[in-house]
Structure 1
Amino acid sequence: MQPQNRIQPHSTEIEQEVLSACLQGESTSVVGILSPSDFYTTSHQKIYQAIESLSKRMAPVDVLSVVDVLRSINELDACGGASYISSVMNNVPMAINLDHYCKVLKDKSAKRRMIQRCAELAISCYQDEEIGDIYERSKQIVTAADLPSIDRKRAVDISNVYPADKMLEEYRAYVSGMKNNRFVTGIHEIDKRIRGVGGGETLFIIARAGAYKTALLQNLMRNYVNASSWGAVFFSLEMPVPNITERFLQNFDRSSGKEIEDFYSHNLTECIDPIETKFKQQLKRFYVVPTKCSLSDMERYVRLIEDHHKVHIGLIGVDYMGLVNQTGKSEYDKVSEIARGSKDLAKFLNIPVVVLSQINRSGEDGSVEVNIQMGRGSGAIEEAADFMLGLWKEDDNLIAKILKNRKGAPGSKWILELDSSCFFIGPNAIEYNPVQHPARRRRADKEG
């Protein structure tokens, strides 16, 4: 059967079940979740519009009130009359199935929209259009697809109200989740203070170029997959896979990049084999995606990796924020959307998300102490972050400052254990106490 001759996805019975539930006192559980276009049958769309109208006015929703609304706009006969609406109510839906029914309707509605968009794309293929333009439009169709979800957090629903006992239940679930999947940096002094990044939380690391932020993220993610039974996805939007691979090989062998390259160019198997063994052992359940993509693409990649590799992903790392695909009129708009979107991604997947970001020009060459106001573009990074680290170099030292900390005091500064020859960052850190230069000291004394 040709696609144009097929009946579009829908379920008349489930549509009737949902309408019946609304007519029997469950309209507040549905309005705000479904829209009229989620119903396939025209009469059901009109009945639901009447239910939605009554609910928004906080008026009683029942057969009589819906009939009155439809009669007042001359749509009652088009909906089958009062007898049809009464017959719909005769269905006895189970409240426990209502969420499922709503999801089914959202799914089928999304499929109908996708069919329409693909049909429009097919027409373009028959017309005299450039294949590149058609391909780009096809990607936009998939990226912009409003995939269905039942998110009661976005609707006015009693489930969003937390009395004391429910607050305690939520906290117990949070602590339990941290036992299963807690991202710790592996740098002891920092971990003591932030106590791990949990599901739905974000860590932003900000620094100028050349301040080892990519190296830090690679080391942190290596630490995570070694300590956890869960996997991690590294979205390397800037650095190609060979460079990432070489850096990890340097980590494991504590060798320079030139030495690693020589091992392979001269096929020194006695050197290569032990490093590759360690590489595969320590990066088991670690996955690199080197393609520039959007935040919604990242969510899809996580699902794809989980399905293909049969692994549970517990951490996302993004290098770096400025290369995430995002529409926007200005840098401010883009940074704001990506920062907030990263938090939404962490909450949606219920896993930690670590994002690297360049700082603005006030950070100069990466040797100036970083502060929270240096976040590029807008204050959205500070707002979206649960934790923030700033990195800068001073002489041969790499210094990290806790700029924001949901679980304790910010402001502490630490000299990290850095071996710059192989991009290795170890677990030890010592407190940073800057030495004041004589000229600065004389100026401070004079001002005092």
Structure 2
Amino acid sequence: MAAPDIALEKGLPANTDAERFVLGSILLDDALFTQVAGALSHEDFHLEAHRRIFLRMSELYERGERIDRVTLAHELQRHGQLESCGGLSYLVSLDEGLPRTANLDSYVRIVRDKSALRKLIFAAQKVIDRCLLAEEDPDQILASAEEWLLKLGEARLAGGLLTPREVIEGYQGGINAFLDPNQRIKGLSTGFIKFDELTGGLHPGELIILAARPSMGKTAMALNIAHHVAAGRNPRPVAVFSLEMSKESLLTRLLCAAARVDSRKFRAGYLNAEERRRLSLAATQLVEA
């Protein structure tokens, strides 16, 4: 079955019950709004009525007002949207069927996942449309597609608001591991002992910026860290991007740093037998990294 046929038969991914239970949970306890708002926006809801309801909830919250059926109905009425959202009777029915012990986190995750799938479909459709029009260079279309997918990925990784309990429960090893300094500071070694002592090594999700005046060794340090991580005792994949240097220049600096050979002598070709041997060994290690 072709992709368009599947889309027509199944429709866009959505779970309206999960959307309804998210909204109904907030109406039962408006203190839950911050938890939901940290993970969802009104655009994540599939039904237009649900989008409008959540948007008006957000406005009530921003004004410091309570969120309940009466205040929400008034806010929708004020914007001329109450009837299009099903009227007060629909607001009353939002929590119908909601379990007595509501699993709000699961409902939010379902809504978020379905929203991500719809956004992926829309992004893919944009790419298909531009390919069919054939008015642009393929590289431009590919770059746009990568940008859209990257933004979707970043939004997924951003996550929502978490309580301290949720952070600790999600930490590998639980609270004992979280409170153990020997485990908490354990990251990937950079090869620079003092740097590792200050930072605890490299950890997932962190951005480390090396800042200094020109020609102070920033690139050399970054390449040394990259080489140590890629070819050390516990090698990991490493990607190196540069806006200033070609791939050949980067490889030359990596090789010379790993072999402890002066890059100026390498470029000039004045190398002795020992330096050539070290360069050959470093090249072998990098190829296998």
Cα distance in structure 1, aligned partners of 2:260 and 2:127: 53
Q: Which deviates the most, 6-15 or 51-60?
A: 51-60
* Runs of at least 5 residues in structure 2 that lack an aligned partner in the other structure: 166-174
Cα distance in structure 2, aligned partners of 1:30 and 1:10: 17
Aligned partner of 2:27 in structure 1 is 23
SS at match of 1:202: coil
Cα displacement (A) at 1:48:
1.9
Cα distance in structure 2, aligned partners of 1:112 and 1:99: 20
Aligned partner of 1:231 in structure 2 is 236
Aligned partner of 1:366 in structure 2 is none
Matched, 1:46 2:49: no
| Aligned residues of 1:249 and 1:260 also touching (Cα < 8 A) | no
Matched, 1:177 2:184: yes
Cα displacement (A) at 1:116:
3.1
| Aligned residues of 2:53 and 2:76 also touching (Cα < 8 A) | yes
Going from structure 1 to structure 2, the CA distance change for 1:231 and 1:139 (only over 3 Å counts) comes to closer
Matched, 1:122 2:125: no
RMSD: 4.4
Cα displacement (A) at 1:183:
3.8
Correspondences of 1:406-445 after superposition (within 5 Å)? none
Q: One-letter code of the match for 2:222?
A: L
Aligned partner of 1:217 in structure 2 is 222
Correspondences of 1:349-388 after superposition (within 5 Å)? none
Aligned partner of 1:147 in structure 2 is 155
Going from structure 1 to structure 2, the CA distance change for 1:70 and 1:243 (only over 3 Å counts) comes to closer
Cα displacement (A) at 1:39:
0.7
**Could you list the per-position Cα deviations for residues 49-68 of structure 1 after superposition, in whole angstroms to 9, with x for gaps in the alignment?**
33223322333323343334
**Could you list the per-position Cα deviations for residues 180-238 of structure 1 after superposition, in whole angstroms to 9, with x for gaps in the alignment?**
x054543x5x44984655533624142434x5443333333334456663625242324
Matched, 1:107 2:113: yes
SS at match of 1:206: coil
Q: One-letter code of the match for 2:27?
A: L
Going from structure 1 to structure 2, the CA distance change for 1:69 and 1:159 (only over 3 Å counts) comes to farther
Aligned partner of 1:55 in structure 2 is 61
Matched, 1:70 2:73: no
Question: Which residue, out of 74, 77, 90, partners 1:84?
Answer: 90
| Aligned residues of 1:44 and 1:79 also touching (Cα < 8 A) | yes
Matched, 1:5 2:12: no
SS at match of 1:43: helix
Q: One-letter code of the match for 1:82?
A: L
Going from structure 1 to structure 2, the CA distance change for 1:251 and 1:31 (only over 3 Å counts) comes to closer
| Aligned residues of 2:177 and 2:183 also touching (Cα < 8 A) | no
Q: One-letter code of the match for 1:24?
A: L
**Could you list the per-position Cα deviations for residues 125-181 of structure 1 after superposition, in whole angstroms to 9, with x for gaps in the alignment?**
44462335545544444455463345446xxx7659xxxxxxx999837763312x0
Correspondences of 1:123-138 after superposition (within 5 Å)? 123-127=129-133, 129-132=135-138, 134-138=141-145
SS at match of 1:231: coil
Number of equivalenced pairs: 264
Going from structure 1 to structure 2, the CA distance change for 1:223 and 1:54 (only over 3 Å counts) comes to same
| Aligned residues of 1:103 and 1:148 also touching (Cα < 8 A) | no
Q: One-letter code of the match for 1:14?
A: A
Aligned partner of 1:433 in structure 2 is none
**Could you list the per-position Cα deviations for residues 370-414 of structure 1 after superposition, in whole angstroms to 9, with x for gaps in the alignment?**
xxxxxxxxxxxxxxxxxxxxxxxxxxxxxxxxxxxxxxxxxxxxx
Q: One-letter code of the match for 2:184?
A: G
| Aligned residues of 1:152 and 1:159 also touching (Cα < 8 A) | no
Cα displacement (A) at 1:30:
1.3
| Aligned residues of 1:20 and 1:93 also touching (Cα < 8 A) | no
Aligned partner of 2:169 in structure 1 is none
Cα distance in structure 2, aligned partners of 1:74 and 1:217: 58
**Could you list the per-position Cα deviations for residues 286-345 of structure 1 after superposition, in whole angstroms to 9, with x for gaps in the alignment?**
5xxxxxxxxxxxxxxxxxxxxxxxxxxxxxxxxxxxxxxxxxxxxxxxxxxxxxxxxxxx
SS at match of 1:89: coil
Cα distance in structure 2, aligned partners of 1:192 and 1:224: 13
SS at match of 1:235: coil
Answer 1 or 2: which has greater helix percent: 2
Identity %: 20
Cα distance in structure 2, aligned partners of 1:229 and 1:115: 39
Q: One-letter code of the match for 1:85?
A: L
| Aligned residues of 2:195 and 2:201 also touching (Cα < 8 A) | no
TM-score by length of 2: 0.67
SS at match of 2:155: coil
